[in-house]
Structure 1
Amino acid sequence: MANNRISASFSQKDREAVMEAIATIKEKLPFLIDLTANERKYLPKLGDKSQAFVSKALEVATQNPDFLPRSFNVNEMRLDVELFEALYPVLLSLTQLQELVDDTLIATGSEAYTAALLVYNYAKASGDVAGLDTVIDDLGRRFTRKSRKTQPQTSAV
């Protein structure tokens, strides 16, 4: 195979260790929540441009709590800001890791599929070898398409 970008194995022991590490991460973040798609869509988002605004607003609220209603909890706002700031680098690291896993999965899947296509083509070319007919038919089912029903043609009058 001419374009082999990765040649590696992932032992059961290493997989278990990675899964344990992921479980530990989840355990250390017991406050994580699962938003619905609707909640995710409609909640206001704190991005890079808004981060300075939030920090300044927290400072204003901390230094001038008298103009805020009694129901406004400055400490809760501070906790939210601190948690956001603490989680952000974790998110960046996890995102980078996920992209590496995704890219590796895509590359290895592509290499495996390309190799399978070569095996199938070689098997078809060597079809006169005893016992390959059934295997070639089984492999070939991957490429069978359902026939499209022909639409009756309407004539324009």
Structure 2
Amino acid sequence: MSYSSNQISVTMPQEDVVEVIDLLRQIKEKMPFLTGVTPEQRKRLPKMDKRNYSFVQDVETAIKNDASILPSYVSPEEMSKDLKLYEQLEELLAPLAYLYDHVRDTQMLAGSEAYSNALMVYNMIKAANKAGLPGANSLYNQLKGRFDRSNTTATDEVSNN
């Protein structure tokens, strides 16, 4: 991506960043019940999907109509609360996913543009150093370590686009 194909050219005022973080904190505070699960739990927990959602609704209806067959340790009220929370959180997932995806995509685009421009400038400095322009050598020496083949952490190659 070259400078001429710049697709995004903005920055957020720091007060907006702080405000968004505060709004996210407020959202989190509205849902103090949120929890995390371990990767192992994520694998072994039975999952609700569209197919079994209607089954759960049917079971809820059935036990509301006649809970006499249930043992005392099974609570129809708790099942109804769990189902209701599932439905409420389902309403939140689409707008949250949209927001997350767009924040992540915008970050990726901004990072790509910054990195592409940095590569372009580096190649200019490299060419200036090779041509012997005054001052280019110190800049080149400062930056070339990123692409030193003996550096095991450097995996990027400088493209000459």
Q: TM-score, normalised by structure 2?
A: 0.87
Instruction: Please state whether the residue corresponding to 1:126 is helix, strand or coil.
Output: helix
Deviation string 1:72-121 (CA, Å, 9 cap, x unpaired) is 10000000000000011112211111100111111111000100011011
The question of 1:11 aligning with 2:3 is answered no
Q: How many residues matched?
A: 148
Equivalent residue in structure 2 for 1:66, among 62, 68, 72: 68
Residue 127 of structure 2 is matched in structure 1 by 125
What percent of counterpart residues are identical? 35
Hey, which bits of structure 1, 4+ residues long, moved more than 4 A?
none
RMSD: 1.4
Equivalent residue in structure 2 for 1:100, among 84, 99, 102: 102
Equivalent residue in structure 1 for 2:27, among 19, 22, 25: 25
Q: Which has the higher contact order (CA 8 A, sep 6+)?
A: 2
Q: Which amino acid aligns with 1:101?
A: V
> Cα–Cα, structure 1 residues 69 and 96, in superposed 2: closer, same or farther, change >3 Å?
same
Q: Which amino acid aligns with 2:87?
A: E
Q: Which amino acid aligns with 1:28?
A: K
Instruction: Measure, in 1, the Cα distance between the counterparts of 2:150 and 2:16.
Output: 42
Shift of 1:131: 2.2
Within a 5 Å distance, the mapping from 1:31-42 to structure 2 comes to 31-42=33-44
CA contact (8 A) 2:145 2:151 kept: no
Instruction: Measure, in 1, the Cα distance between the counterparts of 2:150 and 2:133.
Output: 29
136-145 or 65-74, which deviates more: 136-145
Residue 83 of structure 1 is matched in structure 2 by 85
Which ranges in structure 2 are unaligned for 5 or more consecutive residues?
Answer: 153-161
Shift of 1:42: 0.7
Shift of 1:147: 7.7
